[in-house]
Chains A and B, each alone.
Chain A
Amino acid sequence: MDLKEYVFLGKELKDTYVVDVHIHVGGSTRYQKPGNDADSVVYTMDRVGVDVVCASCSPGAYCDWKWGNEMCADAHEKYPDRIKAYAVVNPHYTFDLDAYFANSDRFLGLKVIPFVQGTLPIDCPGLQPYYEYADKYGLPVLFHAWMASEVKDATAVAKRYPNARFIFGHSGFTAFEESVAACKQCDNVLLDTTISDTYDGALERLVNAVGVDRVAFGTDLTAFECSHILGRILLSRLSDTDKEKILGLNAKQFLKL
């Protein structure tokens, strides 16, 4: 069966390995986020056929990172094969990352989103120790990289720390030129597909510009749905081989899952 047929049947993907590199658990004071707990996430994954998600905790990004990271690690411990956890870091605090990563697989990598922590830049001094740690241990780092300035900063970080692996969230659709430049300059950068609203043709444009190996499925679940982004991939003009790379194979290799 063609991959696009799964959409029209409303069936979960089968025999296709699917990794969502960018989701959130936890609620929000800013807007309603239905189904933001681990059980609801896994329920949705089963509904559409996602094998693995990589999650950070939304409230932990905005305020209490300690509470948020524990919540995210608990989600992983409840569903160790389905939910992987990013530890949110905050440049206003000092983190003991050994407590998260040494001799433990509770966390997969780091989530960096200083935009909501006083609109600090991604390349700010307070985040350098965490990039150094990621570089030392080859950890993945998920950036919130929406604006062109964020993508430029993220590119500078990726160049400086070549052993770390960086996923640029959102940027392929919101800062296209800068994202293409990042992929050309840095082998350790992957772009995700996370966006609430864009046009048909945007994904094909991105793949044509950076190559299909540099794009990975990401959705922002539970900040919003995942099925519309799945539809953009499955109903695109790309071949099923390329769709499978974006849906999971690229992330599997990049994140060493």
Chain B
Amino acid sequence: MLNFIDARCQLGRRGIVREGEPVTKSDILELMDRCSIEKAIAYHAMAKEGDMKAGNDLLLQETEGDERFIRQWCAMPSTFGEFMGAEELAEQMKKHHVSSIRLFPKTHGYSVKPYAMGKFMDVMAQCHVPVFLTYAECGSEDNLYSLLSSYPEVNFIISDASYRENRKLFPLMEQCKNLLLGTGNFVVHGGVKLICDYFGAERMIFDTGLPMGSATAAVALICYAEISEEEKQLIAHGNIERLLADVKL
């Protein structure tokens, strides 16, 4: 049976909760157990929606001693004193066992163009830190291409590409080998097999978007994909384990 590592999970109180949606950490753990998800890479809702520094601190508190969650901080390029500089970020990540970062450029109001990302992304490249963001947060395919092609040493995990994006997404995947696709909402008919056939199973990372996304759907998408058991193992956990093992903070 496949065991999964979820590469996209949010902890903490968010602003909007729909009726019946998982809310607490124990709600999320119940779903992880039900869906054979062993671990989840988690960031904090406060770091996305409220205060980045406070949210990253809350993440440390809420995951203290909990081996089911792999810590991820939200981050942004240094904005003249608002957020810590890249070297300090790397030091703090090492100190607190944080192994990846998540960006929300659209929500947080900054550009992903090289003139803005600058040294921040250079440090992430030096430390082999995987960088996560959603398709919609990039703003446009051209923005995404600019980011991916400017930092070819950085592995970017791009999630939440919808079933309507193939014509934009596939050329990006062909041109930018450092684009890894989060599988959560990629519900193209036979899409997982398509990516394996065109680009290889190494280019996909299992994620759910919990608690707003669906773990039950995300797991079935991989289990029912018409690909080999070895390819499923890579997508379910092998690829993300390889990336995290390569982090040099």
Contact = CB atoms under 8 A, between A and B. Distances in A.
Contacts of B116: none
Given A228-B214, A231-B219, A201 B224 contact: no
Interface size class of B (residues with CB under 8 A): 35 or more
Given A10-B223, A223-B163, A199 B189 contact: no
Contact of A47 (B34, B164, B226): B226
Given A205-B19, A205-B20, A221-B189, A232 B219 contact: no
Interface residues of A, number: 38
Nearest to B31: A200
Given A32-B166, A232-B214, A235-B219, A225 B188 contact: yes
B223 A7 contact: yes
B225 to A, nearest CB: 8
Given A8-B1, A44-B189, A225-B187, A236 B216 contact: yes
A34 B190 contact: yes
B90 to A, nearest CB: 34
A204 interface: yes
B189 A7 contact: no
B211 interface: yes
Q: For the complex of A and B, list the 7 residue pairs with the smallest distance between their C-beta atoms, beginning with the closest.
A: A231-B220, A201-B20, A227-B224, A235-B216, A228-B217, A205-B20, A31-B164
13 contacts: A10-B225, A10-B232, A34-B194, A198-B214, A200-B215, A202-B18, A202-B20, A205-B20, A223-B189, A228-B217, A231-B219, A234-B216, A235-B34
Interface of A: 7-10, 30-36, 44, 47-48, 196-202, 204-205, 221-232, 234-236
Given A8-B223, A31-B167, A231-B224, 18 more contacts: A8-B2, A10-B224, A34-B189, A36-B189, A197-B185, A199-B214, A200-B21, A200-B214, A201-B20, A202-B20, A205-B19, A224-B163, A225-B190, A228-B187, A228-B214, A231-B217, A232-B214, A235-B220
